[in-house]
Chains A and B, each alone.
Chain A
Amino acid sequence: MDRIASILLVFSLLFSCSSDDEKVKDVTINLNFSHVWDGESVSNTDFNTIKFTNANGEELSIERLRYLISDVTLKTVNGASIVIDAYNLVDVTNNTNLNFTPSTTISEGTYSSLSFTFGFKNEKNIDAAYQDLNSVSFGVPAMLGGGYHYMQMDGKFINNLDQEQGYNYHAIRAADNPGANPTFPQDTFFKVDLGSVTVSGDTTFNIEMNIAEWFKTPHTWDLNVLNQALMPNSSAQIIMHDNGQSVFSLKSTN
């Protein structure tokens, strides 16, 4: 009897050891945002100078750039989604929040996709809901549905009269009929799918925004036509939505 008990004890120890060895580790992920203009690195030190040329041939500067990402999502190979319920305002102007490390930990392993939402999904785009965003005046007027900007990019371009002129490329939820009951022709937040990733230890995903793409694909943006007061312009918002699809890419993981 003692001998059998001993054998059982040894087996149970072996199995428990085996179980410990296979335990999946929880780690943190970090999203690191960098910015380029068609391959040329862009930071706030490049701001305030007309040095970029868009697909339509207009020379332009950037003076302010900040944008919101939310709901970082990892999809397992089994099809389950891990949604990190958090958001981050990337502020290139002030060089803040370019690194986003959600407090939620993730299990190591391979995931069929890493994605995030550009802006807020409608159900999270709640007017006045986020004190930090209210405090930095990132809101959208209630007459346009309220909630928050997805992106503010401001600068100047050389117009057809060869004069510097301001532009405000502000992405929000497209709205028509501004007022007490605006209508929404289509969603203009969008999911950025960065493809399959492997999480091994604390992992940093280096994500790049090609700013030039906002003016390029599939719609060639004409700054002489679309430059200011774009928030109440639902057609412009839909073009921003379309062009935004090719803006982000995952450059590396480490």
Chain B
Amino acid sequence: MKNWVLYICYFFIFICFSCSNETIDNYSPTPSPLEIPQLFQEKILAPVIPIDNPQTVEGIALGKKLFFDPILSANQTQACADCHAPENAFTDNDRFSDGINGILGIRNSMPLFNLAWNYDEKFFWDGKSFSLEQQAFLPVVDINEMGDTWQNVEQKLQNHSEYPELFNQAFGTSQIDSILVTKAIAQFERTLISANSKFDKFLLGEASLTPEEQNGFNVFMDENRGDCFHCHGSENNPLWTDNLFHNNGLDSEFSDLGLGAITGDPADNGKFKSPSLRNLAFTAPYMHDGRFSILEDVINHYSEGLQNSPTIDPLMKKVAQGGVQLTEKDKADLKAFLSTLSDLDFIKTFKN
């Protein structure tokens, strides 16, 4: 009799464990494919979504919470959003951002949007990270940014009252590690899609351009005037960047080697990623080192301020004359056109 009861107990224990395992194995969060804007759908290739990190409702929500949570920094004072604020198209308005220790970085914080369409997946001004997931590893441990260690971050999250369950919902495990943290943040960052500027609406037949904006677009597209399109795309590439690296003639000598410091190739010295021209209304100051505080300074740079150097991009025109020598009207109209690429709806969507 005793044996019989014991066998029954073993049987139930076995069933309980097997059920428990099945729950974990079969758990899958809710798929949440990116909502691809019409112009993107029509004109460019599909976004890059890693096979091992599909977009899910739970993963995106977790990534968003982590993005805005200072728990990722050593003294819990700084979140990703401090330097990548929604109201600034996910950058900030400082030339250089300070980290938890008050020390300024050496580059301008990059705005964050349309990152899933960075086909080469090289991130940062110098392209040092391959993939959005890999990118997210670095600021947490950068001594001049969030200044923590991943071991410590993992421990803080593990001991948190909410995060273990949120990770469980997002990834089917409450065991938190840095890989899952960066996966969640990357999922959230891929949802930062900006595609509703005035110029987008113009292309969709929902808005019209002023004569000044139209002329500014022509300056942008005219190889004899602005010739901006070779690096910054066109109406047929709604990213408004080639996501490649160029020396755009900022300096004759380099204090920051940019891509060259990563590749070790002197031919890459002074090259930095072309930023998107979307949302310039919210992303000042400009360039990798934030040297230009207003858009007029940027336009003047390409018009009269080019500095020659061995690696200056051959697409830079009339370098010996300082640049493309735009008229004052063309400069003003170019600025008017560039302003049509700013997307207030994008700012509003995430500002809360």
State the A residues within 8 Å of B (CB). Answer: 47-49, 63-64, 127-128, 131-132, 134-137, 139, 141-143, 154-156, 163-168, 178, 228-232
B130 interface residue, CB < 8 Å from A? Answer: no
**A165-B319 in contact given A128-B236, A137-B233 (Cβ < 8 Å):** yes
B227 interface residue, CB < 8 Å from A? Answer: yes
Chain B residue nearest to A154 in the complex (CB): B314
Q: From residue 203 to 239 of chain B, which have CB atoms closer than 8 A to chain A? A: 218, 221-224, 227, 229-231, 233-237
State the B residues within 8 Å of A (CB). Answer: 42-45, 117, 119, 218, 221-224, 227, 229-231, 233-237, 242, 267, 308, 310-320
Chain A residue nearest to B43 in the complex (CB): A134
Across the interface, B234 reaches (CB within 8 A) one of A63, A139, A164, A178, namely A139
CB pair A135 B314 closer than 8 Å: no
Bound together, the chains give a CA A166 to CA B44 distance in angstroms of 30
Bound together, the chains give a CA A128 to CA B235 distance in angstroms of 9
Known A128-B42, A178-B222; further 17 A-B contacts with Cβ < 8 A: A48-B311, A127-B236, A128-B235, A131-B45, A134-B236, A135-B44, A135-B119, A136-B242, A137-B230, A141-B221, A143-B222, A154-B315, A156-B314, A166-B314, A229-B223, A229-B224, A230-B223
Q: B222 contacts which chain A residues (CB < 8 A)?
A: 141, 143, 178, 232
Across the interface, B237 reaches (CB within 8 A) one of A135, A167, A228, A232, namely A135
> Taking the nearest CB of chain B, how far is it from the CB of A45, in angstroms?
10
Bound together, the chains give a CA A49 to CA B320 distance in angstroms of 20
**What does DSSP make chain B's interface, helix, strand, loop or mixed?**
loop
Bound together, the chains give a CA A136 to CA B231 distance in angstroms of 10
> Taking the nearest CB of chain A, how far is it from the CB of B250, in angstroms?
16
CB pair A135 B45 closer than 8 Å: yes
CB pair B267 A232 closer than 8 Å: no
> Taking the nearest CB of chain B, how far is it from the CB of A179, in angstroms?
8
Give me 25 A-to-B residue pairs in the complex whose CB atoms sit less than 8 angstroms apart, sorted by A's number. A128-B235, A134-B236, A134-B237, A135-B117, A137-B229, A137-B230, A139-B229, A139-B237, A141-B223, A141-B234, A154-B315, A155-B314, A163-B320, A165-B319, A165-B320, A166-B313, A166-B315, A166-B316, A166-B319, A167-B314, A168-B314, A178-B222, A228-B223, A229-B224, A232-B224
